[in-house]
């Protein structure tokens, strides 16, 4: 009985994974996460019931157990994934209806603390560019900050994606969405120098010169961690992405522009990324209140001028 149940789960999970990759166009990482949580839930079902006939009460019991050890954000994600799974089963004709989830935990997404431009510049200029490895690391750090791209996107950059004349990169984002991102002149110079000294035995820009394999997200995270610790900074690749958004916003870039550069489908997601300095907030307040005072002065002058005017 256990063997038959596990065989059924394995079969359905393979079909669900194909659905996520091909129809919902999720990336490998997201698809793996979805399948992980669904598999955990199915294993928790009582008495090895048919893994397609679970009920709302089964989900509620599972969530109550997970709530003891997981945050509200994680529970929210799990509920969303289980809803997607039930809809998949419904459309495949394996269920009569999909879940009716009414319980959604309320949670606030914490914003990361503000990191000033000087700290980021210290980080990205930390590698010793006089060595081949140092030049590669510096090019990676500069490109992360100059474009705000995800680590997975950086790892997937091919030589054919780069236009050094226009200083643009064609990026393959989440859900196979393609976008064009821009980088600055200093990053262009680093990339040119890196390309000039690197054997091209791979189609990927950042690769292992011996094996030709592309760089991995773990290796990029390690590069960031080494130089962050060297400069006593608490920065990860994803925090660099947040800093790109925040610093662009402080320089006057509209939210919609930042959204397009980051590859977000929703402006609400971009808003979560943006943190601003207290100095920026004070300056914005002074500008706003200064405009208010000018308007009040204009109105008062108008009233005085027309006080004695007879109608």
Q: Which residues are known to be catalytic?
A: 150, 174, 238, 241, 264, 273
175 vs 31, 152, 234, 241, CA distance in Å?
A: 11, 13, 30, 19
The pair phi, psi for residue 17, each rounded to 5°, is: -60, -45
Given the structure tokens 């643009």, which residue do they identify?
Answer: 168
- How many whole angstroms separate alpha carbon 234 and alpha carbon 225? 8
User: Which residues is 170 bridged to in the sheet?
Assistant: 180
DSSP character at residue 96: S
- How many whole angstroms separate alpha carbon 213 and alpha carbon 202? 7
User: Which residues is 179 bridged to in the sheet?
Assistant: 171
Given the structure tokens 């200064």, which residue do they identify?
Answer: 290
212 vs 27, 198, 201, 206, 215, CA distance in Å?
A: 23, 11, 6, 9, 9
Helix, strand, coil percentages in the chain from 3-state DSSP, rounded to 5? 60, 5, 35
* End-to-end alpha carbon distance in the chain: 96
The pair phi, psi for residue 134, each rounded to 5°, is: -65, -40
Q: Please name which of 8, 65, 297 lies closest in space to residue 16, comparing C-alpha atoms.
A: 8
DSSP character at residue 229: H
- How many whole angstroms separate alpha carbon 273 and alpha carbon 227? 23
């Amino acid at each position: 009985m256990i063997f038959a149940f596990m065989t059924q789960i394995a079969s359905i999970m393979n079909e669900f994974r194909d659905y996520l990759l091909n129809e919902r166009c999720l990336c490998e990482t997201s698809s793996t996460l979805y399948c992980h949580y669904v598999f955990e839930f199915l294993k928790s079902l009582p008495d090895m019931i048919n893994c397609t006939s679970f009920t709302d009460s089964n989900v509620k019991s599972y969530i109550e157990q997970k709530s003891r050890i997981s945050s509200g954000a994680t529970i929210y994600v799990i509920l969303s994934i289980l809803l997607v799974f039930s809809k998949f089963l419904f459309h495949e004709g394996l269920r009569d209806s999909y879940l009716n989830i009414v319980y959604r935990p309320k949670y606030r997404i914490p914003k990361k603390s503000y990191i000033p431009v000087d700290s980021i510049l210290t980080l990205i200029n930390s590698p010793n560019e006089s060595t081949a490895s140092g030049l590669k690391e510096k090019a990676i750090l500069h490109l992360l900050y100059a474009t705000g791209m995800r680590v997975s996107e950086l790892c997937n950059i091919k030589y054919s994606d780069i236009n050094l004349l226009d200083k643009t990169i064609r990026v393959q984002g989440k859900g196979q969405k393609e976008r064009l991102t821009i980088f600055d002149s200093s990053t262009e110079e680093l990339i040119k120098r890196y390309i000039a000294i690197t054997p091209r035995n791979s189609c990927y820009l950042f690769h292992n010169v011996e094996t030709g394999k592309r760089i991995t997200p773990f290796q990029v995270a390690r590069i960031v961690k080494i130089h962050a610790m060297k400069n006593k900074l608490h920065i990860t690749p994803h925090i660099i992405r947040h800093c790109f958004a925040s610093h662009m916003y402080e320089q006057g870039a509209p939210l919609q522009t930042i959204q397009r550069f980051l590859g977000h489908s929703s402006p609400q997601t971009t808003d979560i990324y943006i943190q601003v300095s207290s100095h920026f907030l004070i300056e914005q307040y002074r500008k706003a209140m200064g405009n208010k005072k000018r308007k009040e002065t204009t109105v008062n002058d108008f009233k005085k001028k027309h006080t004695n005017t007879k109608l």
